[in-house]
A and B are shown apart, each in its own frame.
Chain A
C-alpha cells in the first residue's frame, strides 16, 4: 500500500524567501514521486517527478525536490519565492506498473509582498 502525507495545509512566505513544502511517503515498493501545482480555477500540472534516477530533481519555475529514502521524504523547495508561485501544491506517489497515483491532501502556498 502507498500513502502520502503533506505537512501543513497552508504555508505563507514573503516574496524572495525560501519555499519549503514537506512531503513524506509510504510505499512497500520502490516509489515514483511527483509534485503537481494547481493555480486557481485550473487543473493540476506537473512540476517535477522522481523515477529512480538522480535523487535531486529539478522542475519548472525554479523548483526542485530531493528524494531521501532513509527519511521517506520528497520535500519541494525553491530558493526565492515569487508572487506567481501562490497556488496549491500536491505531492503524489505511484509505482512501476501501478495504475493508481495516490495524492496528498495538498498545501496551499501564500506569498506575501
Chain B
C-alpha cells in the first residue's frame, strides 16, 4: 500500500511565525503536490514537484514556498504565517503525471492566530 504521511495532524501557530509542513511518501513516486482545502472551494494546488529539487507553482503559490531535497520528502513552508492561511493542507503523490491516481496524506489542519 502506498503511504503518504504528514508531520502533524493539527497545528496552531501565531501570525508571523515560520511554519514547516512536511510530507513523506514511501512509493518512490516522481510527483508530489501540496493542496489547501477550504469549504466550498475544493482543493487548490499550491505547488508541485516532478523531480528532486524541481518545483512548479500551482494556482495559489503566494505566501508559500516548497523544498524537495529528497525524492520521498516534500516540504511546504509558510514564510510568515497569516490568518488567511488557516486551512487544511493536503499532500499527495503520484507515479506518473496526469492520468495517474494521486495518493493523499491525512492532512494537516493549521490554525493561525
| Chain A interface residues toward B at CB < 8 A | 9, 32, 34, 36, 41-46, 49, 51, 90, 94-101, 103-106
State which of B12-20, B63-71, B72-80, B100-108 sits at the interface with chain A.
Answer: B100-108
Set of chain B residues within 8 Å of A97, measured between Cβ atoms: 97-98
Considering the complex, which residues of chain B in the window 58-99 have a beta carbon less than 8 Å from any beta carbon of chain A?
58, 90, 92, 97-99
Contacts A43-B4, A44-B90 given; does A98 touch B97 at CB 8 Å? yes
B48 in contact (CB, < 8 A): yes
B98–A105 CB distance below 8 A: no
Beyond A41-B106, A42-B106, A99-B98, 6 extra complex contacts between A and B, CB < 8 Å: A43-B104, A43-B106, A45-B104, A90-B43, A100-B58, A105-B42
Q: Considering the chains assembled together, what is the distance between the CA atoms of A103 and B56 in angstroms?
A: 18
Q: Considering the chains assembled together, what is the distance between the CA atoms of A50 and B102 in angstroms?
A: 14
Q: Considering the chains assembled together, what is the distance between the CA atoms of A91 and B106 in angstroms?
A: 19
Q: Smallest distance from the beta carbon of A46 to chain B beta carbons, Å?
A: 5
B4–A105 CB distance below 8 A: no
Top 8 closest A-B pairs, CB basis?
A43-B104, A103-B43, A105-B42, A32-B99, A98-B98, A44-B104, A103-B42, A51-B99
Q: Smallest distance from the beta carbon of A34 to chain B beta carbons, Å?
A: 7
Q: Considering the chains assembled together, what is the distance between the CA atoms of A44 and B33 in angstroms?
A: 13
Q: Is the interface of A mostly helix, strand, loop or mixed?
A: loop
Q: Determine the residue in chain B with the shortest Cβ distance to A52.
A: B99
A100–B104 CB distance below 8 A: no
Q: Considering the chains assembled together, what is the distance between the CA atoms of A9 and B40 in angstroms?
A: 7
Set of chain A residues within 8 Å of B112, measured between Cβ atoms: none
Q: Smallest distance from the beta carbon of A97 to chain B beta carbons, Å?
A: 5
Q: Considering the chains assembled together, what is the distance between the CA atoms of A45 and B90 in angstroms?
A: 12
Contacts A90-B42, A99-B48, A105-B41 given; does A43 touch B99 at CB 8 Å? no
Q: Mark B30-51, 1 if CB is under 8 A from A, else 0.
A: 0100010000111111001010
Q: Determine the residue in chain A with the shortest Cβ distance to B50.
A: A99
B107–A49 CB distance below 8 A: no
Set of chain A residues within 8 Å of B101, measured between Cβ atoms: 34, 46, 49
